[in-house]
Structure 1
Amino acid sequence: MRFRRALTAGLLAATALFSGAGAATAGTTGKDGDPTEAGTGFRTATAVKQDQKATADASTGDYLYWQFPAGAGQRPTARATVRLPEANARHGAATWRLDVFDGLRRRQACAEGEPTRKAGPQDSTITLTCTLRVVRPYAERWSDDPLPGAYYLRLTVVDGPDQDMGLPVHAEVEATAEDAGGKYAEGGELGAPLHAGAVSEPEGGWTGGWWSDRWLWTVGGAVLGALLAIGGYTLTRHPHRFSR
């Protein structure tokens, strides 16, 4: 318990050092409430909710940033679709990349998806995806496992003709999360999210909801154990019934 308190304090202190005093901006929203601008860095990353679509008009070569929440027991997936400049305005293929960072700005590995894609001269749009590992309720100090809190998305072109830099593009991003199930439930938890940023707490909370499919296994095991106990008692108490 003492170790977990020390871990929480260390992580929160590190968050303060990395985050600074500036808060992320919420960005401009459209008539439906969805953000229509992206930030230009971690401190100005536009906040989006899970399952909410955010858009941004930008230029090829810009770094676009968003942030979204993820709680313990969730498996987040980020998806970005880029509408590219007109084919006759481009001078060759370009490689786009979607990066995901945690609250301490550590790049998180994608367990599934295609976070890097090359757009050919004739492609009009490309889609990039990244599914993270399951968010854990706590982790060891040396681990870079995903923890509850805000996650940052960064979208940019990493390779392309110099003549194409500055051409207009339109980006659309969305972050979703699915419940990973009871087998990922653990006993401990952080005292607070790793870094909440400007995002709202996810629907199930930072530490996950109380319900888990592990309850089904627990209750089922208890019922089965009770039935076996009753059967064993009956067999030993009245063996003549079964001998007949």
Structure 2
Amino acid sequence: MRTVRTLTAALLAGAAALTVAGTASADTSAASPSPSSSPSSAKDEAAPTEAGTSFRTAAAFRPGQQATAGASTGDYLYWALPVDAQQRLSVKATVTLPEAKGRHGASTWQLDVYDGLRRHQPCTYGTQTRAAAREAASVELSCTLRTVRAGAEQWANDPLPGSYYVRLTVVDVPEEDLGLPVRAAVEASVKEAGGSYAVDGALSTPLVPATVTGSLREPEDGWSGGWWSDRWIWTAAGGVLAALAGILGYSLTRGPGRPSQVPPRA
């Protein structure tokens, strides 16, 4: 019975220690944002004040920055930013509209996000398209993507590490209002999803087209720099607990103080 009590205490102590370690790791991960998403590090670089007019001329910025641009109603505005594996990207856009007295009707604006292969990525939530009344002073849009995966099948449309394009434009507006000046502001943030979204394998090269390589820098901790996740902790915890449970089960099955069977002498 002493052996059983000792193993039971060790089992409980090991489970408690691993649970505390996992919780502390998760809390640390949640409390310490990725360097690539840190507002203080992003502010070290100037945010763009102009937008591109196509994928090839997209203006580069980082999560945590606010990119701005002046444009005309009807223009297509493009920005690009880096997003790594196990990160969930959220983009918000605000369009300041011309004075109501100079407009002829309502307008509808749309925010789209594409990956490095220019594949349109659906929003999991957010207001991707919104109509603005004639008297409205501004319109706000948002889009949150699925968590970026480290790898995927060739036929899949899963978001992969690399550059992501943000496109903002008006999709419905009176013809008389085309060309009126507007002001756009776009900001992005990334959230570390953790080991629950980790997968085996990795993309050999991030999806960063050569057209933006010169201006779009990689995340400050490198591509797939956050390879460590709480998935490793819980995998190790499961192995330790399984081993302790096996030892405990063997001790209970053998029974306390059972004498060994000694064959009788001839």
Q: Would the TM-score normalized by the shorter structure come out above 0.5? A: yes
In the alignment, which of 88, 98, 101 is matched to residue 75 of structure 1? 88
TM (normalized to structure 1)? 0.80
What is the CA deviation profile of residues 85-113 of structure 1, one whole-angstrom value per residue up to 9, with x for unaligned ones? 11111111000011111112121111111
SS in 2 for 1:77: strand
Say if 1:50 and 1:202, in contact at 8 Å, map to a contact too: no
The superposition leaves residues 145-190 of structure 1 with CA deviations (integer Å, 9 ceiling, x where unpaired) of 1111101111111111111111111111012111122121111111
Select 2:193's aligned residue among 180, 183, 190.
Answer: 180
CA RMSD of aligned residues (A): 2.0
Deviation at 1:214, TM superposition (A): 1.0
In structure 2, the partner of 1:227 is: 244
What are the within-5 Å matches in structure 2 for residues 91-240 of structure 1?
Answer: 91-196=104-209, 197=212, 198-240=215-257
Point out the structure with the larger helix share: 2
What TM-score, normalized to structure 2?
0.74
Instruction: Give the partner amino acid of 1:211.
Output: W
Alpha-carbon distance between aligned partners in 1 of 2:220 and 2:236, rounded to the nearest angstrom? 26
* Structure 1: tracts of 5 or more residues without a match: 1-29
1:53 to partner: Cα distance: 0.8
Instruction: Please report how far the alpha carbon of residue 208 of structure 1 lies from its aligned counterpart in structure 2 after TM superposition.
Output: 4.5
1:225 maps to a residue whose letter is A
Identical columns (%): 59
Give the Cα–Cα distance (whole angstroms) in 1 for the partners of residues 253 and 158 of structure 2. Answer: 51
User: How many aligned residue pairs are there?
Assistant: 212
Alpha-carbon shift at residue 41 of structure 1 (Å): 0.9
What's 1:17 paired with?
Answer: none
Q: Which residue of 2 aligns with 1:42?
A: 55
Q: Tell me whether 1:60 sits opposite 2:73 in the alignment.
A: yes
1:201 deviates by: 1.4
Partner of 1:20: none
Query: CA-to-partner distance for each residue in 1:198-221, whole Å, 9 max, x for gaps?
Result: 322124532251321212321321
Task: Tell me if structure 2 keeps the 8 A contact 1:42–1:65.
Answer: yes
Q: Secondary structure at the match of 2:74?
A: coil
1:59: how far off? 1.1
Matches of 1:227 and 1:144 in 2, distance apart? 42
Compared CA separation, residues 134 and 157, structure 1 to 2 (3 A): same
Whichever residue aligns with residue 230 of structure 2, its letter is D
